[in-house]
């Protein structure tokens, strides 16, 4: 039996590591043609990149890089806007603005640039938000603002492009075992505190976020648009 | 072989509409599927949109606590409990307190009773509960105070049970369909003007079909959603976006 994703074209920004990498791998396993982006010069610069994906070097903070990505893609069924970052200096204005550029402005720009291709295939977009789309993370105001902004953008684009058959949704991962959360996982005190806040009492696995992204991109979700799905082991309930 | 081979799924209100579409989805994935409905036997659903072939059918009024208490479909391990059974009253009947209470019994108290009845069986299988809410879980519906209150209640029940049962390995989630073509909503979609007016408001330009909801229910019950609990998934073609 061939899967729904067989032969489909998929672009995963930041698909070299963490959640994005597993998304790329799950699409590849279904027979999709997957392109990933990363900031490093060559894909070999990453420890363990997904095998079989095409690679484009692009730092999405910059409009030129976004234009470059769009120029490389000639057919598209699924766009996963996964690339994102936070920093320790988000109360510095230039850093704040750069993070908004990477996490929010780049998503808008890339989505608009690729919308004509998605319209042709009646494809869909899945944005990777965060629990910060809904809650305050006080040490990272730019990350929080960008991810909350992404939620609003998901709703606006979902409404705007519905008539083109292009669906737009968001996943909101909680605490997932990736490089971004390595610090907390190596600090037993902090980890204990965090686990107390999660009804399921464990870290999420990147594969558990990836599977939700694949669902939202699939025909099983064909009547879902403008929505967000939390993958957080129940964290936001408390 | 399907992803639900060897697994057991119970769908209340699984005889027609969304519940039946979900039941068929699980059946196709290899599950043993048990469905309930209000009619005496499966044969009584001939001529409806329900297809009960290959499923175990049980009559159950889920709004009757005594009936829920004696309901025995013979399961020791339950991988998914889908509570799809519900009722609604039209022509302002839900403003009558007795009818309000009756709708609440079926749409909210019954679902809680079912969750408690099957708690041990769900824990044994590390299974999950999927409540079928509605877009009315989030907003008022002017003519249906009982339906809205019950579906709003299901939303917070979902969140509360997710907290309470997470430690037992039971996940609890809710799907919130918009207008879906089913027996319960015929009053809207069988009327061409009302249907056209509704479809104009939906960004995806059409009302939902039961199969549009079955896919998301299946996803939430599946291993793909194993870190998802306490959440609600709106399936409304963008109506509330």
Per-residue pLDDT, A1: 61
**Could you give the ipTM of this predicted complex?**
0.74
Note whether A36 contacts B: Cβ–Cβ < 8 A. Answer: no
Chain A neighbors of B227, CB-CB under 8 A: 174, 200, 204-205, 208-209, 231-233
At which residue do the structure tokens 């399921």 appear?
Answer: A200
Pairing state of beta strands B32-37 and A167-173?
unpaired
Distance CA A24, CA A34 (A): 6
Contact B175, B130 (CB under 8 A): yes
Which residues in chain A are closer than 8 Å to B229, comparing Cβ atoms?
199-200, 233-234
Separation CA B9–CA B34 (nearest Å) = 6
Structure tokens at A56: 């484009």
Per residue in B164-203, pLDDT (tens digit) is 999 999 999 999 999 999 887 888 888 888 889 889 999 9
Cross-chain Cβ contact A223/B237 below 8 Å:
yes
Per-residue pLDDT, B1: 60
Q: Indicate which residues of A carry an active-site annotation.
A: 143
Task: Render pLDDT for A30-39 as a digit per residue (tens, 0 to 9).
Answer: 999 999 999 9
How do residues B98-122 score in pLDDT, each as one tens digit?
999 999 999 999 999 999 999 999 9
Kindly determine whether residue B228 and residue A227, on different chains, have CB atoms separated by under 8 Å.
no
With an 8 Å Cβ cutoff, are B227 and A214 in contact?
no
Q: What is the pLDDT of residue B156?
A: 97
Torsion sign over Cα B88, B90, B92, B97: negative
By the CB < 8 Å criterion, does A29 face chain B?
A: no
| Strands of the sheet with A54-57, listed across from one edge | A54-57, A33-38, A9-12, A78-81, A124-128, A167-173, A228-231
- Tokens for A84? 């994102």
Out of A221, A225, A231, whose CB is closest to B203?
A225
Tokens of residue B130, six digits: 């999927």
């Amino acid at each position: 039996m061939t899967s729904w994703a067989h032969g489909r074209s998929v672009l995963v920004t930041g698909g070299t590591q963490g959640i994005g990498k597993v998304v790329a791998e799950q699409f590849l396993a279904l027979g999709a043609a997957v392109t990933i982006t990363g900031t490093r010069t060559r894909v070999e610069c990453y420890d363990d990149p997904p095998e079989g994906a095409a690679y484009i070097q692009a730092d999405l903070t910059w409009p030129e890089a976004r234009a470059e990505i769009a120029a490389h893609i000639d057919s598209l069924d699924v766009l996963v806007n996964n690339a994102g970052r936070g920093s320790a200096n988000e109360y510095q204005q230039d850093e704040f603005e750069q993070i908004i550029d990477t996490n929010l402005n780049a998503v808008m720009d890339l989505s608009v640039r690729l919308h004509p291709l998605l319209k042709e295939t009646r494809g869909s977009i899945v944005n990777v938000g965060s629990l910060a789309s809904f809650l305050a993370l006080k040490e990272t105001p730019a990350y929080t603002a960008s991810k909350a902004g992404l939620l609003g953008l998901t709703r606006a684009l979902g409404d705007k492009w519905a008539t083109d058959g292009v669906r737009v949704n968001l996943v909101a991962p909680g605490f997932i075992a990736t490089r971004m959360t390595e610090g907390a996982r190596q600090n037993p005190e902090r980890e204990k505190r965090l686990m107390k806040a999660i009804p399921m009492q464990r870290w999420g696995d990147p594969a558990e976020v990836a599977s939700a992204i694949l669902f939202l991109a699939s025909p099983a979700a064909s009547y879902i648009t403008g929505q967000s799905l939390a993958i957080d082991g129940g964290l936001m309930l408390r | 072989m399907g992803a639900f081979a060897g697994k057991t799924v119970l769908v209340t209100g699984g005889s027609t509409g969304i519940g039946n579409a979900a039941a068929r989805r699980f059946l196709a994935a290899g599950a043993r599927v048990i469905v309930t409905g209000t009619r005496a036997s499966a044969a009584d659903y001939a001529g409806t949109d329900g297809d009960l072939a290959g499923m175990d059918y049980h009559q159950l009024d889920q709004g009757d606590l005594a009936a829920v208490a004696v309901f025995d479909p013979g399961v020791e391990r339950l991988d998914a409990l889908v509570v799809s059974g519900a009722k609604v009253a039209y022509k302002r009947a839900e403003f009558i307190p007795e009818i309000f209470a009756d709708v609440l019994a079926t749409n909210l108290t019954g679902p809680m009773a079912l969750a408690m009845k099957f708690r041990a069986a769900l824990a044994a299988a590390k299974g999950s509960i999927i409540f079928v809410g509605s877009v009315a879980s989030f907003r008022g519906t002017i003519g249906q105070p009982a339906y809205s209150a019950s579906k709003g209640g299901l939303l917070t029940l979902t969140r509360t049970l997710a907290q309470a049962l997470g430690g037992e390995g039971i996940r609890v989630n809710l799907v919130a369909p918009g207008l879906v073509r089913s027996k319960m909503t015929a009053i809207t979609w069988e009327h061409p003007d009302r249907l056209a007016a509704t479809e104009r408001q939906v960004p995806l330009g059409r009302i939902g079909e039961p199969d549009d909801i079955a896919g998301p229910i299946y996803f939430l019950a599946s291993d793909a959603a194993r870190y998802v609990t306490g959440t609600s998934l709106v399936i409304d073609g963008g109506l509330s976006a």
